[in-house]
């Protein structure tokens, strides 16, 4: 594997300053077309990829949002919904297919959350990092994610309150599909009652 090209290599090849290279990559319309084309040709020729971590240090932001949940297969392990109270019900719904065909079709609320979070992150100019906390009793995955993102969404009850409180001191935290419990986080709730009224 050859050595990765740096911003200095791009600047040298294009005959411009590293500030101009950065400007072309961040605000291309702010650079004269001829200069912009030289820089972009150098980027392509060298296979240059900007360093996200370096940009994050300079801008004090990562451009990444985190979504942490217990995993899609957690739905298969959930107890029957009728055995749960409203307080302990999982934040997803499990729907089984026709037992005769042996097909185990599962419609996941988690899937909708994932799709919606990715789409909204993209609209706002962010990339979505997804963390699955399977076999993560000390919550090292979510702690690691928190150090790499500008904000974190967690599914209700997937992270203990004391861990969430610690993370929220560093970055914004949003709890999905769980009612506030006297905490200071933002919450996104599902309007089930309103939806059912509208449906009927």
Say yes or no: 174 and 104 in one domain.
yes
CATH of the domain at 13: 1.10.260.40
Say yes or no: 134 and 189 in one domain.
yes
Q: Is the alpha carbon torsion for 46, 47, 52, 55 positive or negative?
A: positive
| Per-residue pLDDT at 56 exceeds 90 | no
Query: 132 vs 29, 105, 110, CA distance in Å?
Result: 39, 21, 11
Name, in order, each residue with C-beta under 8 angstroms of 179's C-beta and a sequence gap of 6 or more: 156, 187, 189
Q: What is the residue range of 121's domain? A: 64-199
pLDDT tens digits for range 143-174: 888 888 999 999 877 888 888 888 888 889 99
The number of distinct structural domains making up the chain is 2
Say yes or no: 34 and 73 in one domain.
no
* Residue 1 falls inside a structural domain: no
| Selected residue with higher pLDDT from 106 and 171 | 171
- What is the pTM (predicted TM-score) of this model? 0.58
Q: Give the DSSP letter of residue 16.
A: S
| Per-residue pLDDT at 140 exceeds 90 | no
Say yes or no: 69 and 46 in one domain.
no
């Amino acid at each position: 594997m050859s050595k990765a090209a740096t911003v200095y290599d791009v600047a040298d090849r294009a005959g411009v300053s590293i500030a101009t290279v950065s400007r072309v990559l961040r605000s291309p319309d702010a650079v004269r077309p001829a200069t912009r084309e030289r820089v972009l040709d150098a980027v392509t020729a060298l296979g240059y990829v900007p360093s996200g971590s370096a940009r994050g240090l300079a801008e004090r932001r990562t451009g990444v949002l985190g979504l942490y949940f217990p995993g899609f297969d957690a739905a298969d392990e959930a107890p029957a919904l009728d055995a749960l109270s409203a307080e302990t019900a999982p934040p997803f719904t499990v729907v089984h297919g026709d037992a005769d065909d042996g097909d185990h079709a599962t419609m996941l609320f988690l899937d909708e959350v994932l799709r919606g979070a990715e789409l909204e992150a993209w609209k706002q100019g962010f990339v979505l990092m997804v963390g699955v906390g399977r076999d993560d009793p000390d919550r090292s995955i979510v702690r690691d994610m928190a150090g790499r993102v500008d904000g974190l969404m967690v599914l209700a009850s997937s992270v203990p309150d004391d861990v969430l409180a610690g993370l929220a001191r560093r970055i914004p935290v949003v709890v999905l599909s769980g009612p506030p419990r006297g905490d200071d986080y933002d919450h996104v709730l599902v309007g089930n009652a309103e939806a059912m009224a509208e449906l009927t």
